[in-house]
Amino acid sequence: MTLTVLLADDHAMLRSGMRAIFDTQPDLECVAEVADGRAAVAEVARLRPDVAVLDIRMPKLDGLAATEMILADPANRTKVLLLTTYDTDEYVYRALNAGASGFLLKSLPPEELISALRVAARGDALIDPSVTQRLIARFAVSLAPPPTPPELDLLTVREREVLQLVAAAYSNAEIAAQLHVGDETVKTHVSRVLAKLGLRDRVHAVAYAHINGLVQTRPPGVR
Amino acid sequence: MTLTVLLADDHAMLRSGMRAIFDTQPDLECVAEVADGRAAVAEVARLRPDVAVLDIRMPKLDGLAATEMILADPANRTKVLLLTTYDTDEYVYRALNAGASGFLLKSLPPEELISALRVAARGDALIDPSVTQRLIARFAVSLAPPPTPPELDLLTVREREVLQLVAAAYSNAEIAAQLHVGDETVKTHVSRVLAKLGLRDRVHAVAYAHINGLVQTRPPGVR
DNA sequence: TCGGAGGTCCCCCGCGCGGGGGACCCGGTT
DNA sequence: AACCGGGTCCCCCGCGCGGGGGACCTCCGA
């Protein structure tokens, strides 16, 4: 099974260089070379190659926009590998959001480019190691639970419980019903919570709870 | 400059296999082999190798916990590569959060393991392609802005403006001051917002706004 | 020209809320 | 035995809030 590849880069030199690399592999066939993003989108739609290797910087339509267009069309099964000289973070995030299968730097050794192609073709993804480092850092912070403010320790278990319910926008009466206690009791708890946290009213408590991640506004683990 | 490596896996067979691979590389030196996580942590602290290759499944202390302990100690400059047979998502997230430089499957070809070692040693990071795919998907959703509920279109510009301020826990009077209008006007806007969005009171509005991402609870772009 | 949408301001009324008190009970510490 | 932190319940009081009306203006499109 031979892999068909489309090459998009505005430098003819680089295209021929990469083509030369591909030609060393019997199972890789470069079915098209284009010099700008618009042509890339058009040729992908026409030829449906297995993988499209796009430079990020291209005339008419840059690689990112082209990626978005290609992957937005469900008729395309083409995987997209993005190639760039500069590994600006912004590019990476946009590329990944667009659904690119890879983000590689042009400094990549030829043989690794080949293996990247095969990886992409079989549906996996890969990111240039130098980029992965920062990506992980970014991902880690986005996964990290928001730091729990120390004043939360002042609250008793019951008070935290009440705070959760306040944050969920329940009224005192509703909270009382859920906790099977009188509403006067809830008022006491709420008052204590506000006093301990230095909050003016329950409205501030709701904002406080959301900002400090006391309520899951997202599927657990994502963030 | 030779790279020193620590090998941690509870299977002697696998250790000797990997050691054999390393021996083919003149600049790689395997300075220690251990069979459990506790020993790995201890030896890393003692020998300070450039890279530690840890299996996830190990007796006494698993690879993830060992990674966390190793990287928690700032005196350690050792990079950690995690190796596993199974690419369970949970493992990956924990590994990345702990700060591992790599997450690889044991199915990785030997020569790629070697190159992974060098990548880790120079401070970059890499993730097994089959895992990267899912990681990207996950990262993309965590970057994606929360879907804007359609009923928000019912609001006028001014009403959305007021909603933002309500969500920030401002009182009607405070909002009036900020917008340089009378507080009766603010009341009107708030009432309309509640009616249009089907919310009971401003407390619900605050929760609604936070859940739907109308207020930035995180540095922009992260999420 | 007339209407409607959006923005601004006004009145009245009821109620939930939050602060200020106080009270009781229980479990653990001193 | 005395004490205290937590949890529960109760009173009164003031106020911000939200609903229900209505009014006026401007801009824009029918």
Q: Which is higher by pLDDT, A90 or A65?
A: A65
The H or E element spanning position A6 is strand A3-8
* Percent of chain B's residues with pLDDT above 90: 43
Class of residue B12 by CB neighbours under 10 A (exposed 0-12, middle 13-18, buried 19+): exposed
Pair of tokens at residue A180? 């099977």
What is the C-alpha to C-alpha distance for residues A172 and A37, in angstroms, rounded to an integer?
A: 59
Q: How many angstroms separate the CA of residue B165 from the nearest CA in chain A?
A: 11
Output the pLDDT for position B178.
93
- In this model, does residue A221 exceed pLDDT 80? no
pLDDT-derived band at A144, boundaries 50, 70, 90: low
Plot region of B130 (φ>0 → left; ψ -120 to 50 → alpha; else → beta): alpha
Distance between CA atoms of residues B63 and B7, nearest Å = 11
Q: Does A136 reach chain B within 8 Å, measured CB to CB?
A: yes
Q: The tokens of A150 are what?
A: 């120390």
Q: Is the CB of A201 under 7 A from strand C?
A: yes
Q: Are strands B79-84 and B51-55 parallel, antiparallel or unpaired?
A: parallel
Q: Pairing between strand A79-84 and A51-55?
A: parallel
pTM of the model: 0.64
Can you tell me which residue has its alpha carbon closest to the C1' of nucleotide D19?
B191
The alpha carbons of chain A give a radius of gyration, in whole angstroms, of 27
- The pLDDT, as a whole number, for residue A35 is 92
Across chain B, the runs of DSSP E, i.e. the strands, are 3-8, 28-34, 51-55, 79-84, 102-105, 126-127
Tell me whether residue A185 is exposed, middle or buried, using C-beta atoms within 10 angstroms of its C-beta: 0 to 12, 13 to 18, 19 or more: middle
- Residue A213 DSSP SS3: coil
For the sheet with A102-105, list strands across it.
A28-34, A3-8, A51-55, A79-84, A102-105, A126-127
What sections of B153-182 are H helices per DSSP?
A: 157-167, 172-179
The encoded tokens of residue A137 equal 């850092």
Mean pLDDT lowest among A95-109, B11-25, B90-104, B133-147: B133-147
Flag whether residue B129 sits within 8 Å of chain A, measured between CB atoms: yes
Q: Which two tokens stand for residue B65?
A: 């916990």
**C-beta separation of A30 from A5 below 8 A:** yes
Chain A: closest CA distance from residue B11 (Å) = 29
Torsion A87-A88-A91-A92 (CA) sign: positive
The Cα of A212 is separated from the nearest Cα of chain B by a number of Å equal to 8
Assess whether pLDDT exceeds 50 at residue A31.
yes
pLDDT > 70 in chain A, percent: 91
> Which amino acid would we find at residue A120?
A
Number of residue pairs across A and B with CB atoms under 8 Å? 115
Q: Beta carbon of A212 within 7 Å of strand C?
A: no
Burial profile A133-168: b = 16 or more Cβ within 10 angstroms, e = fewer: bebbebbeebbeeeeeeeebeebeeebeebbebbbb
Upper half-sphere CA count for residue A129 (Cβ side, 13 Å): 24
Element housing A64 (H / E) = helix A63-72
Mean pLDDT lowest for which of A43-52, B79-88, B173-182? B79-88
- Residue B181 one-letter amino acid: V
Q: Calculate mean pLDDT across residues A65-79.
A: 89
- What phi and psi values does residue A103 have, to the nearest 5 degrees? -140, 105
What distance, in Å, lies between the first and last C-alpha atoms of chain B? 41
Q: Do A217 and B210 touch (CB under 8 A)?
A: yes
Look at chain A and count its residues: 223
Contact B58, B36 (CB under 8 A): yes
Convert the pLDDT of each residue in A83-125 to its tens digit: 888 777 678 778 877 788 888 888 887 877 888 888 888 887 8
Q: What confidence category does residue A196 fall into, taking pLDDT thresholds of 50, 70 and 90?
A: very high
